[in-house]
Amino acid sequence: MLFGAHNTKAERKGVMSRSFFRLAAFVTVMVPAVASAQINFEKSQYYVAMGDSVAAGEGAMPVTNGYAYQLYDHGVFAPMQVMDFANVSVRGGRSWELRDNQVAEVLCSTPAQRPTVVTITAGANDFFRGDTDIFGIALRVTESINLLLNNGTPYVLTPVLDPVTQTPCAPLTNVTILVSNYYHIPVPVPQVNAIVDSALSGFDQAMRALLPFVYVPAGSKLGYVDLYGASADRQGLVLIERRLGFSGPFDWEPHPTNLGHTFIAGEFAKVFQSLQ
């Protein structure tokens, strides 16, 4: 009896010991595999997307299929291994938020790598929320670009200040800034469509008139992405054309579809390549 009991206890210890070593072996094998699945690269480029819900990816499914994410994922500006990325755009953001909040966020942060590429789509929410001064909307967008490029220089009357030191935050250097207008939004009510299209066309004209007055320092570049002209006679780019995209003359969905976001990304890519 004593011999049998001793043998049973030994067997139990043996089973536990084998289970422990199997677990240890599993962990030993798995941990290096998980750790080696991700390789960190030193980043030499940094892409920042700014603006409104279009820049934030609204309309895309999932949202991370938005045009800014596509530009990053497809390595349009640089391979992902060397490119950092941040999207500081917000749904409902107006030109005021772009100029007064997002610009300060980008300029006054001090990451190891400052932005080398910036994309901007902003202004439509101003109009949709009752601001009919299209030139003033475009002016705030171009003021935002001027701040990014020239903050703390004589080209800026009211610089963005660091909240602690109260000194001007440094402008971006050696950066490519790409700013867009908006695509056609085909509202199926002729009277409403005429008003919306007039605003979109006016915004395009105002941006074209104002951008040449922005001083671009040596080493930096500024490109204009004409979504309005490129989207003429195109279909399937806007959710208003999809099921549930139109409920009435003043209740419709203006954001891009997945196809629309791919179209926008393609237009940004073309302009970027033309500046190289």
Q: Chain-wide mean pLDDT for the chain?
A: 89
Q: Which of 265, 261, 264 shows the shortest CA–CA distance to 60?
A: 261
Q: Are 225 and 144 in contact (CB under 8 A)?
A: no
Is the pLDDT at 32 greater than 50, yes or no?
Answer: no
* Cβ contacts of 201 within 8 Å, gap of 6 or more: 228
* Cβ contacts of 47 within 8 Å, gap of 6 or more: 71, 72, 77, 78, 83, 84, 85, 86, 115, 116, 117, 118, 119
Annotated domain spans of the chain: 1-38, 45-274
Instruction: Give residue 106's pLDDT.
Output: 97
Q: Are 77 and 117 in contact (CB under 8 A)?
A: yes
Is the pLDDT at 23 greater than 60, yes or no?
Answer: no
Confidence band of 18 (pLDDT split at 50, 70, 90): low
Rounded CA gap, 75 and 81, in Å?
Answer: 9
What mean pLDDT comes out for the span 251-259? 94
Is the pLDDT at 9 greater than 60, yes or no?
Answer: no
Lowest mean pLDDT among 36-45, 52-61, 68-77, 100-109: 36-45
Please indicate whether residue 16 or residue 57 has the higher confidence score (pLDDT). Answer: 57
Going 151 to 174 to 178 to 120, the CA torsion angle's sign is negative
Instruction: Give residue 10's pLDDT.
Output: 47
Is the pLDDT at 177 greater than 60, yes or no?
Answer: yes
Is the pLDDT at 170 greater than 50, yes or no?
Answer: yes
What mean pLDDT comes out for the span 263-272? 98
Q: Are 238 and 186 in contact (CB under 8 A)?
A: yes
Q: Which amino acid makes up residue 125? A: N
Q: Are 69 and 62 in contact (CB under 8 A)?
A: no
Which CATH superfamily groups domain 45-274?
SGNH hydrolase (3.40.50.1110)
CA dist list (Å): 71 to 59, 75, 169: 16, 6, 27
* pTM of the entire predicted model: 0.85
What mean pLDDT comes out for the span 137-143? 98
Instruction: Give residue 123's pLDDT.
Output: 98
Confidence band of 202 (pLDDT split at 50, 70, 90): very high
User: pLDDT above 90 covers what percent of the chain?
Assistant: 79
